[in-house]
Amino acid sequence: MHICLYVYSYIQAFISPRAVKTICFFFPSSGLYELLAALPSQLHPHVSCPEDNTFLQDMFGERSLHSLVKVKQKRTSFFHSTKPNSHVFKLFFLLIFQILIPVAVLYEYLNSMSNLTNSLTNTVLLICSSLLSVHDTVAQKSYDPELPPLPEDIDDDEDSVKIIRLVKNKEPLGATIMRDEHTGAILVARIMRGGAADRSGLIHVGDELKEVNGIPVDDKKPEEIIRILAQSQGAITFKVVPSIKEEAPTKEPKMFVKALFDYDPKEDKAIPCKEAGLAFKKGSILQIMSQDDATWWQAKVEGDANPRAGLIPSKQFQERRFALRQPVISLPIQRTSSRRSSGFRRSFRLSRRDKKTNKSMYECKKSEIYDMADVPTYEEVAPYCRRSGAKHRLVVLVGPTGVGLNELKKKLLISDPQHFSVTIPHTTRAKRNQETDGVEYHFISKHLFETDIHNNKFIEYGEYKGNFYGTSLDSIRSVLSKNKVCLLDVQPHTLKHLRTSEFKPYVVFVKPPSVERLRETRKSGKMISAKDDKGSSKPFTEDDFQVMVSTAETMETQYGHLFEKILVNDDLSEAFAELRLALKKVETETQWVPVSWTQS
Ligand SMILES: Nc1ncnc2c1ncn2[C@@H]1O[C@H](COP(=O)(O)OP(=O)(O)OP(=O)(O)O)[C@@H](O)[C@H]1O
C-alpha cells in the first residue's frame, strides 16, 4: 500500500492547476469524463446522509481525479495502438493506471473520511470492483482478426484444401500465378514481399489454386484468373491446396543496390507480369527483398513508404540481355594540352582533339574495350558518411573538351584555396626558366617515368612531342593527406581505376547545354589550340559546339552509371553554385557508396 500511496502522491505532486490545464488541452474530454461528472447525481437516491453526498460531489468533482481519468483514457488509446508483442509494457501500464492509481485514490479518500457510512463504503467498493472488472476485460482483449466461418460444402476427401478469405482494397494482391507444365495445375508462382498476400501470411509459393470465389480455375488460363481477381471487390475466397514445402520465415533483407540503368516493366517483354514490375531510373537506390528467383528479383525503392516489393530483372539476367543488346561504343579519340591558363595550372588532361591529323596526341594507357565487368546493372551499396577529420572523397570532374572543367575548378580553388587543391603532373619535358620543380610539374627523367609506368603509378599518362606527361596516384594522395579536397579531371575510362575504397571518388559529369545555348553563352569563350603546347587559344567554332554536345551524349551513354552528379554548365555562376553545394553535401551528408568502400 505504501507503493500505491507513493505512486498516487507522486502523480498528485505533478498535477498542479497549470499541469491540469495542459493535460486537458492534450487529452480532450470524452464520454467517460462526462459520466464521471454525472455519477454523484446518479448515486444520489442511494445516499441518505448529506455528508456522504458532499463527499461524493467532492470526490468525483476533484480536478486531479479528472486529470487522472484523462491520463487513463490516453493510456488506453496508447494501449490499443501498441503492437501485440509488447505484453510486458502493457502489463506495467495496466498495473499502474488501472489498479494502483484507482486503489490509491480511493484509499486516500476512505482514510480521510472517517465518518463514511457503510453504504457509501459499499458503493465505493462496488466502483473499485467495476474498475478491476474493466481491467480484466481490457487485459483479456484479443488482438487477432476474427476468422470467417468455414464454408459448409467442403468434401471429405478435400481435407488438405485450405480456404482463404482476403478482403481486397485497391491494392493489388501481390502474387503471381503460373500453370505447371507437367500437371497443368495453377500454382502461386511468387509472393511479392510486403504485398497484401505476403502480409496475410496465408498464401505461399507453390500453393495450388483450385477456386476463386467459388469459380473452379483448373480449366482457366492464368490471364483469365487474373481478370477474375481484378474484377473482384471486397472479400475474395480462395480454395487452395497448400504447397508441401514449408517456407522458412524470412527476415526483412537489408541488401541495397544502386541501379545503373533505367528500367520500365511496361517496355519489358520478358517480365512474367508487367503489373508486378518495379520501374526505376539509373541511380535509384533499391532494397532487394528477395533473390529466390534467379531471373526476377523482388525489390522496392529505398525510402518508399509502400511496403510491397516489385519485380526487377536479376543482375545475371540483365547482364545477359545487356551483352546481347549493347553495341560497342567508342569515344572519339581526344588529345591533350598542357597549357597554363591565366595563371592557373591545369591538371594533366588527355582531352584534345587534333583535327588536322586526327591522331591521338597521347596514347591512352587504359583500354576502352568493353568488357563484362563494365556491364551496368546493379552495384551493391551502403550508406557512408565521412567522419570529421577523415580524408575527403576525391572529386573527379568529367566532361567533353571545352565544356568548362577548368573554369569550374578554378572557381572552386579561388573560393577556398585552403580547402580545395589540384594535383601536380609529372613530365619528362625540360624545365623552363620560370618553372619550379614540384610547382608546375614534377620534372623527372624518361627512364624514371617509364619505370613508374611499369609500376602502375600513373592514373593517366601520354606522350607529346617526344615527352611524357602523366598524373600519378601519389600526387592525388599527397593532396588528400593534407586534408584537402582534391579536384581532378580525367578521361572517363580511367574512372573505374579510381573507384577504390582509398579514393571514394565523387564523380561529377559536366555536361554542355544545347548548341543554341552554347552559341549564346560561349561568345567570349576560348578553346585551347591543339596545334602547340604554348597555351594559344581560339574562339569556339560551330563545329566545336557540335562535337562537344555529341561527345557528351556518348560519354553519358557509356559511362553514365559511374556519374554521381550531372551538372549542366549553362550559366557559369549557377553551375558553380550548384557544384559548390553538391560538394558541401558530400562532405557532410550520408551518401550511398559501393559497399566495399565501407568495409575497410
Ligand atoms: N558556363 C560558361 N559560360 C561561358 N563561358 C564558359 C563557360 N564555361 C566555360 N567557359 C569558357 O569556355 C572556355 C573553355 O573552358 P575550360 O578551359 O574551362 O574548358 P575545359 O573543359 O577545361 O576544356 P579543356 O578540356 O579543353 O581544357 C573558356 O574560355 C571558359 O572561360
Atom of ligand 1 nearest to the CA of 510: 21
Residues 415, 545, single domain; the answer is yes
At a CB cut-off of 8 Å and minimum separation 6, what does 193 contact? 250, 289, 290, 298, 300, 308, 309
Given a cut of 50, is residue 30 above it in pLDDT? no
Give residue 247's pLDDT: 55
Q: Is 528 in the pocket of ligand 1 (CB under 6 A)?
A: yes
Q: Is 407 in the pocket of ligand 1 (CB under 6 A)?
A: yes
Q: State whether 225 and 279 are in the same domain.
A: no
Q: Is residue 133 in a domain?
A: no
Does residue 494 belong to any structural domain of this protein? yes
Of the three residues 16, 49, 78, the one that is the final residue of a domain is: 78
Instruction: With beta carbons less than 8 A apart as the criterion, state whether 512 and 556 touch.
Output: no
Which whole number is the average pLDDT over 466-477? 94
Q: Lowest mean pLDDT of 105-114, 216-225, 237-246, 284-293, name the range.
A: 105-114
Instruction: Assess whether pLDDT exceeds 60 at residue 331.
Output: no
- For residue 57, tell me if it sits in a domain: yes
Q: What is the pTM of this model?
A: 0.61
Residues 523 and 575 both lie in one domain? yes
**Mutation test residue for ligand 1: of 345, 422, 522, 548, the one with most atoms within 8 Å of CB:** 522
Q: How far apart are CA 583 and CA 100, in angstroms?
A: 58
Q: Choose between 171 and 540: higher pLDDT.
A: 540
Determine the Cα angle at 353 with ends 513 and 521, to 5°.
Answer: 25
Q: For residue 547, what are the domain limits?
A: 385-419+484-597
Give the pLDDT mean for 463-484. 94
Residue 426 pLDDT class (50, 70, 90 cuts)? very high
Q: What is the residue-averaged pLDDT of the chain?
A: 76
Instruction: Give the pLDDT of residue 148.
Output: 60
Return the pLDDT at 270: 92
The finding on whether 512 has its CB within 6 A of some atom of ligand 1 is no
Q: Which atom of ligand 1 is nearest to the CA of 525?
A: 29
Report if residue 523 sits inside a domain.
yes
| pLDDT at residue 302 is higher than 50 | yes
Lowest-pLDDT range of 302-316, 336-350, 565-579: 336-350
Cβ of 211 below 6 Å from ligand 1: no
Q: Which residue has the higher pLDDT, 433 or 50?
A: 433
Q: Please list, in sequence order, all residues whose beta carbon lies within 8 angstroms of the beta carbon of residue 378, skipping any fewer than 6 positions away.
A: 257, 258, 259, 260, 286, 315, 318
The CATH number of the domain where 196 resides is what? 2.30.42.10
Q: Which amino acid is residue 57, in one-letter code? A: Q
Within this chain, do residues 511 and 396 fall inside the same structural domain, yes or no? yes
Q: Kindly indicate the confidence band of residue 359, based on its pLDDT and cuts at 50, 70 and 90.
A: very low
Q: With left for phi above 0 and alpha for psi between -120 and 50, is residue 466 left, alpha or beta?
A: left
Q: What is the pLDDT of residue 169?
A: 74
The domain tally of the chain equals 4
User: Where is the domain boundary, 78, 113, 139?
Assistant: 78
Q: Is the CB of 423 under 6 A from ligand 1?
A: no
Q: Is the pLDDT of residue 358 over 70?
A: no
Say how many Å lie between the CA of residue 568 and the centre of ligand 1. Answer: 13
Domain end (from 275, 305, 323): 323
415 plus 533 within the same structural domain = yes
Q: How far is the CA of 403 from the centre of ligand 1 (A)?
A: 5
Higher-pLDDT residue of 212, 586: 586
For the stretch 512-529, pLDDT in tens is: 999 999 999 998 888 775
Q: Which atom of ligand 1 is nearest to the CA of 572?
A: 1
- Closest-CA residue, ligand 1 atom 30, reads 525
**pLDDT at 2 (0 to 100):** 34
Residues 55 and 185 in one domain: no
Highest mean pLDDT among 15-24, 240-249, 347-356: 240-249
Q: How far is the CA of 523 from the centre of ligand 1 (A)?
A: 11
406 C-alpha vs ligand 1 centroid, how far in Å?
Answer: 6
Task: Please check whether residue 115 lies inside any domain of the structure.
Answer: no
pLDDT at 61 over 80: no
- Strand-pairing partners, residue 311, are 277, 298
508 and 412 housed in the same domain: yes
Provide the pairing of β-strand 506-511 with 565-568.
parallel
Q: Are residues 508 and 572 in the same domain?
A: yes
Atom in ligand 1 nearest the alpha carbon of residue 571: 1
More confident residue, 410 or 529: 410
Residue 113 predicted with pLDDT over 60: no
Residue 378 banded pLDDT, cuts 50, 70, 90 = very high
Q: Which of 406, 545, 548 to mutate to test the pocket of ligand 1 (most atoms within 8 A of CB)?
A: 406
Residues 63 and 174 in one domain: no
Cell numbers for 246 = 514449408
Residues 513, 548: Cα–Cα separation, whole Å: 10
Write the residue with the smallest CA distance to atom 12 of ligand 1. Answer: 525
Alpha carbons 267 and 108: distance in angstroms, whole number: 75
Position 467 in a domain: no
Q: 263 with 229, same domain?
A: no
Identify the pLDDT of residue 210: 86
Which ipTM was obtained for this model?
0.98
Mean pLDDT of 30-54: 65
Task: With respect to residue 369, please indicate whether it lies within any of the assigned structural domains.
Answer: no
Cell of 511: 555536361
| Tens digit of each residue's pLDDT (9 = 90 or more) over 231-258 | 777 888 888 888 876 555 556 667 999 9
- Tell me: do 211 and 281 sit in the same domain: no
Residue bearing the CA closest to ligand 1, atom 11:
525
- Could you tell me which residues come within 8 angstroms of residue 144 by beta carbon, excluding any fewer than 6 positions away? none
CA distance 50 to 177: 76
Give pLDDT, residue 95.
56
Please state which of the ranges 355-369, 408-422, 524-538 shows the lowest mean pLDDT: 355-369
Dist. CA 319 → ligand 1 center (Å): 37
Q: Does 350 score more than 50 pLDDT?
A: no
Q: Please say if the pLDDT value at position 220 is more than 80.
A: yes
| Residue 336 covered by a domain | no
What is the distance in A from the centroid of ligand 1 to the CA of 522? Answer: 8
How far apart are alpha carbons 293 and 443 in whole angstroms? 57
The pLDDT value recorded for residue 347 is 43
Three cell numbers written together for 452? 613508374
Q: What is the CATH number of the domain that holds 498?
A: 3.40.50.300
Are 519 and 389 part of one and the same domain?
Answer: yes
Look at residue 353 and tell me whether its pLDDT is greater than 90: no
Rounded to the nearest angstrom, the distance between the alpha carbon of 572 and the centre of ligand 1 is 9
CATH number of the structural domain spanning residue 310? 2.30.30.40
With a 6 Å cutoff on the Cβ, whether 578 touches ligand 1 is: no
